[in-house]
């Protein structure tokens, strides 16, 4: 029963809660307090300690939900239901929150320029990075979804490529979903780049291999590592951002820039329904989707222009 209770949350969530609760246990042990079951006053003292140390509101929020989770799965009285604890959580959000700094976007034209720079390249590292960039952009994908892809998740059809995402942030029950990306006619076509990369890296006959792996460079020879492990998030970010900086050097860019860039470009068209946009990006609500769209200044000015002032 204990193992099933742990599976009620995603593995990453369980690890995050476990690590956060461990810090709470250390605080209680140091101050000779009881961590399980914890008294609301004990939790309040811990939150106060975190805020005194200048911890961000995310740390306090993580502690709040980890303590709640541990007490719930152990069928203990939940100390986080105390009004005092809830008020301290709100205080942490007010006093230690930082403004959200969203990443900038890149345009389709800039991505065309980037891919044109390497149009004749057969370097596996370059083909890998460009493939990552373009399927992330065209599929509105999160970098975690891209790095978890295996070769068997990619199916090439006559006029499009289908990418199966087995695990996603919003797919809590792991039902999986298909992303379809049409075949294009430019140097930035995700279909052509991905096919070229898989052929160069000899991945077509390795269905269980991760699609994007670390690479080794020896003199003029580049090859993927033999160990079946995905490219790390840190390295993937370095590769993607360094390539994007070639065409957008003065912008605040990250891996999430591509997901935001893709939906921003697609949202300009009136021919695409809101339902298709949400399904393509695996968003559950319009609010989540709209948070990624960067409206142009012309569209924003159109609102006040309608007032005829």
Give the per-residue pLDDT at 302: 79
Find, among 104, 151, 128, the residue nearest to 249 by Cα.
Answer: 104
Cα distances (angstroms) measured from residue 241 to each of 114, 214, 231, 236: 12, 16, 15, 8
Helix crossing, 124-138 with 256-267: angle to 10°? 50
Q: Which residue has the tokens 């009285």?
A: 77
At 172 the pLDDT is: 67
Distance (Å, whole) CA 284 – CA 308: 36
Please tell me the predicted confidence (pLDDT) of residue 191.
95
Question: What was the pLDDT predicted at 161?
Answer: 94
CATH code of the domain in which 233 resides:
1.10.443.10
pLDDT at 169 over 80: no
Six-digit token string for 119? 């149009």
In this prediction, residue 5 carries a pLDDT of 85
Nearest by Cα to 54 from 20, 85, 96:
96
* Cβ–Cβ < 8 Å for 174, 167: yes
Task: Give 196-230 pLDDT, tens digit per residue.
Answer: 999 999 999 999 999 999 999 887 788 999 999 99
Count how many domains the chain has.
2
According to DSSP, the β-strands at 154-156 and 215-218 are unpaired
Pair 79, 203 in one domain: no
Task: Give yes or no: residues 125 and 250 share one domain.
Answer: yes
Evaluate if residue 231 carries a pLDDT over 70: yes
- Over residues 232-241, the mean pLDDT reads 95
pLDDT for res 179 = 92
pLDDT tens, position by position, 25-45: 999 999 999 999 999 999 999
Residues 137 and 14 in one domain: no
> For residue 142, what pLDDT band results from cuts at 50, 70 and 90?
very high
Which range is least confidently modeled, 83-87, 158-162, 273-277? 273-277
Rounded-to-integer distance, Cα 190 and Cα 193, Å: 5
Tell me, what's the pLDDT at 7? 85
Backbone phi, psi, residue 163, to 5°: -115, 120
Q: CATH number of the domain that 34 lies in? A: 1.10.150.130
CA dihedral 169, 171, 175, 178 (to 10 degrees): -70
Predicted pLDDT of residue 125: 93
Of 243 and 12, the one with more pLDDT: 243
96, 123, 140: which is the final residue of a domain? Answer: 96
Question: What is the tens place of the pLDDT at every residue in 244-268?
Answer: 999 999 999 999 899 999 998 888 8
For residue 170, tell me if it sits in a domain: no
The mean-pLDDT minimum among 123-127, 154-158, 270-274 falls in 270-274
Determine the pLDDT at residue 24: 96
- 285 pLDDT above the threshold of 80: no
Query: For residues 129 and 275, which has the higher predicted lDDT (pLDDT)?
Result: 129
Provide the edge-to-edge strand list for the sheet that holds 160-165: 154-156, 160-165, 177-182
Output the pTM of the full model.
0.79
How high is the pLDDT of residue 173?
64
Average pLDDT over residues 112-137: 95
CB atoms within 10 A of CB 87: 12
Give the integer Cα–Cα distance in Å for 94 and 74. Answer: 31
More confident residue, 309 or 194: 194
Lowest-confidence region among 70-84, 94-108, 224-238, 295-309: 295-309
Indicate whether 148 and 239 sit together in one domain.
yes
Lowest mean pLDDT among 48-57, 93-102, 230-239: 93-102
Query: Quick one: pLDDT at residue 299?
Result: 77
Residue pair 124/193 in contact by the 8 Å Cβ criterion? no
Please indicate, yes or no, whether residues 128 and 27 belong to a single structural domain of this protein.
no
pLDDT value of residue 275:
85
Give me the domain span that covers residue 276. Answer: 108-152+185-290
Residues 82, 126 within the same domain: no
């Amino acid at each position: 029963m204990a193992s099933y209770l742990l599976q009620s949350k995603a593995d990453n969530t369980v690890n995050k809660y476990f690590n956060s609760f461990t810090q709470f246990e250390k605080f209680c042990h140091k101050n000779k307090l009881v961590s399980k079951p914890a008294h609301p006053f004990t939790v309040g003292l811990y939150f106060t300690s975190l805020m005194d140390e200048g911890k961000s509101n995310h740390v306090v929020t993580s502690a709040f939900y980890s303590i709640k989770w541990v007490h719930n799965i152990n069928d203990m009285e939940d100390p986080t239901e105390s009004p005092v604890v809830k008020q301290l959580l709100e205080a942490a959000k007010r006093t230690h929150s930082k403004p959200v700094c969203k990443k900038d976007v890149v345009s389709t034209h800039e991505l065309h320029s980037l891919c044109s720079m390497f149009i004749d390249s057969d370097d596996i590292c370059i083909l890998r990075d460009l493939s990552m960039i373009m399927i992330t952009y065209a599929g509105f994908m999160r970098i975690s979804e891209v790095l978890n892809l295996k070769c068997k998740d990619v199916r090439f059809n006559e006029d499009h490529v289908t990418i199966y995402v087995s695990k996603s942030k919003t797919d809590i029950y792991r039902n999986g979903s298909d992303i379809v990306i049409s075949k294009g006619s430019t140097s930035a076509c995700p279909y052509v780049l991905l096919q070229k990369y898989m052929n160069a890296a000899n991945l077509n006959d390795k269905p269980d291999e991760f699609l994007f792996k670390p690479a080794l460079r020896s003199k003029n020879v580049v090859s993927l590592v033999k160990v079946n492990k995905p490219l790390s998030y840190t390295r993937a970010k370095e590769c993607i951002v360094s390539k994007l900086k070639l065409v957008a050097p003065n912008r605040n860019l990250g891996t999430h820039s591509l997901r935001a860039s893709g939906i921003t470009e697609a949202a300009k068209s009136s021919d695409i329904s809101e339902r298709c946009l949400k399904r393509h990006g695996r968003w559950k609500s319009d609010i989540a989707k709209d948070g990624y769209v960067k409206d142009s200044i012309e569209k924003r000015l159109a609102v006040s222009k309608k007032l005829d002032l």
